[in-house]
């Protein structure tokens, strides 16, 4: 395992979808390394392949080519193909996702939403969930349900949920796309702080202004990372 301490190490990663006889090359051989505490922005227009890249790196989808190691786990490479259970465990233990649509469970309170990833680990730590909600600035919204929260508050809950199993990597798929600029900046600031504390972040966005504030910016278009 020669990841040199990197959380993500991807070489020549590709992903081709075949639907109805048509082939779509969503990723055409991208290289990617992310170190602990590194804030990487994946910048690209809609359809560039950002979501695909995050899904593959996060073990939600399998690459069709190339090599990929995440948090020390070989996901693909040298003919190896991760089993589904290995991908589930990878997501469970090492990865947190946040999405543009927040994706909270509507019948659960903020604390309960944060506790969901712990269910799969047969664990439950309400104190930790509350601590994380306080950390993201929601100490007054612990028992509110999603329909009682603003967009920014929902994304904070989603962020706390993504962090509850102490992941090494946060995959954020346009998490500020549905927020106003002020809230967007607040959320971004929060992510900045988290990366300063050692969390590796891969942040997909089409927002050039935000991209400038990352440690590393990768420009993705048509499944290829432009080298500049």
Ligand X SMILES: Nc1ncnc2c1ncn2[C@@H]1O[C@H](COP(=O)(O)OP(=O)(O)O)[C@@H](O)[C@H]1O
Q: Which of 165, 176, 195, 205 binds other proteins (CB under 8 A)?
A: 165
Q: Which stretch binds other proteins (CB under 8 A): 35-43, 93-101, 135-143, 199-207?
A: 93-101
x-or-dash string of contact with other proteins, 102-141, rule CB under 8 A? -x-xxxx---x--xxxxxxx--x-----------------
Closest CB to other proteins among residues 66, 211: 66
Please, what is the end-to-end C-alpha distance for the chain in angstroms?
Answer: 29
Q: Which stretch binds Mg ion (CB under 5 A): 45-53, 124-132, 140-148, 184-192?
A: 45-53
d(CA 53, CA 34): 13
Strands 169-173, 200-205: pairing kind: parallel
187, 179 contact by CB (below 8 A): yes
> Taking the mean position of all CA atoms in its chain, how far away is CA 43?
14
- 43: DSSP letter: E
User: What is the length of the chain?
Assistant: 228
User: Residues in the site for other proteins, rule: CB under 8 A?
Assistant: 51, 55, 58, 60-61, 84-85, 88-89, 91-93, 95, 97, 99, 103, 105-108, 112, 115-121, 124, 161, 165
């Amino acid at each position: 395992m020669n990841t040199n301490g990197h959380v993500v190490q991807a070489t020549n990663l590709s992903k081709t979808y075949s639907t109805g006889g048509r082939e779509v090359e969503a990723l055409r051989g991208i290289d990617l390394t992310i170190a602990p505490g590194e804030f990487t922005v994946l910048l690209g227009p809609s359809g560039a392949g950002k979501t695909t890249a995050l899904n593959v790196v996060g073990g939600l989808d399998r690459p069709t080519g190339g090599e990929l190691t995440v948090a020390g786990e070989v996901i693909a490479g040298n003919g190896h193909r991760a089993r589904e259970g290995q991908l589930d465990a990878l997501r469970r233990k090492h990865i947190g996702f946040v999405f543009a649509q927040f994706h909270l469970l509507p019948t659960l309170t903020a604390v309960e939403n944060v506790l969901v990833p712990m269910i799969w680990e047969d664990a439950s730590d309400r104190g930790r969930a509350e601590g994380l909600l306080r950390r993201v600035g929601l100490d007054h919204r612990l028992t509110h349900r999603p329909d009682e929260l603003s967009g920014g508050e929902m994304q904070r809950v989603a962020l706390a949920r993504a962090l509850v199993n102490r992941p090494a990597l946060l995959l954020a798929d346009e998490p500020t796309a549905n927020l106003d600029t002020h809230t967007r900046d607040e959320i971004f600031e929060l992510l900045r702080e988290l990366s300063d504390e050692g969390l590796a972040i891969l942040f997909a966005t089409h927002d050039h202004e935000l991209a400038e504030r990352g440690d590393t910016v990768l420009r993705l278009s048509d499944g290829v990372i432009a080298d500049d």
